[in-house]
Amino acid sequence: MQVKVLGRVDYLPTYQAMAAFTEGRGADTPDELWLCEHPPVFTQGLAGKADHVLAAGEIPVIATNRGGQVTYHGPGQVVAYPLIDLQRAGYFVKEYVYRLEEAVLRTLGGFGVTGHRVRGAPGIYVRTEDPFGHARLLPSPQPSPAGGRGSDAESLPLPLAGEGGGEGAPDPFSGLAKIAALGIKVTRHRTYHGLALNVAMDLQPFERINPCGYAGLRTVDLSTIGVSTTWNEAAALLGHKLQALLAP
């Protein structure tokens, strides 16, 4: 895999370049990993709803063809775009997502931080009160589609903002904050878009949206939870973990 550190680049031309690379690649085109950061921008996924953007203000909102809902990109965030031929790599989309999340978990581990998955809500989360603790998340029951309670929090998708299980439903994000977001596109077994890890950024723009469609979901970065590092250091570590985990 060829790793390209792009530095700070505008979102739209980078998005267009990813799409063009994916469309034009052949069976022998080497996979690439692009590492970058973007000027402030909100991006909407295919499932994005306009009302999840609460107050964009001066920050542009760009519609994309990735999965997921609205998120924010800005300086101090490491954005990774793996351009992978999954058919050649020998694994499927579900495994690909798992490997992306695992790379973030191992990157956080390199800084002593324990990350967590929440089933039905792609991305990586940390405990706000104990980001360095190793206790596992306890499963909590989620509202079932029929209005009852599911027996396993990890067997049902979580409701989006405005689509919850009603008053009294458990909060799957209680005590958690999101530190990394995922949003991917796969076309003809080839991936683009990717993930974003918050390192040391202005988090206020996340308050202008329902992050990933969840009202009130808190967002943090490494700096907020007490980790002092640079963008270059975090990008290098994340890139190394992605190279290793995305290999065939």
Per-residue pLDDT band at 120 (split at 50, 70, 90): confident
The answer to whether residue 209 sits within a structural domain is: yes
The answer to whether residue 73 sits within a structural domain is: yes
The answer to whether residue 156 sits within a structural domain is: no
Structural domain that includes position 236: 2-128+178-245
**Residues 12-34, mean pLDDT to the nearest whole number:** 96
The answer to whether residue 93 sits within a structural domain is: yes
Q: Please tell me which residue in 186, 203, 212, 227 is annotated as part of the active site.
A: 212
The enclosing domain of 18 has a CATH number of: 3.30.930.10
What per-residue string of b and e applies to 95-128 under the rule 16 or more CB within 10 Å gives b? ebbebbbbbbbbbbebbebbbbbbbebbbbbbbe
The pLDDT value given to residue 233: 98
The answer to whether residue 66 sits within a structural domain is: yes
The answer to whether residue 142 sits within a structural domain is: no
The answer to whether residue 220 sits within a structural domain is: yes
**Angstrom distance (rounded) from CA 58 to CA 230:** 27
The answer to whether residue 120 sits within a structural domain is: yes
As given in the structure block, the two tokens for residue 212 are: 């990933």
Question: How many domains, the chain?
Answer: 1
Q: In percent, how much of the chain has pLDDT > 70?
A: 87
Whether 212 is catalytic: yes
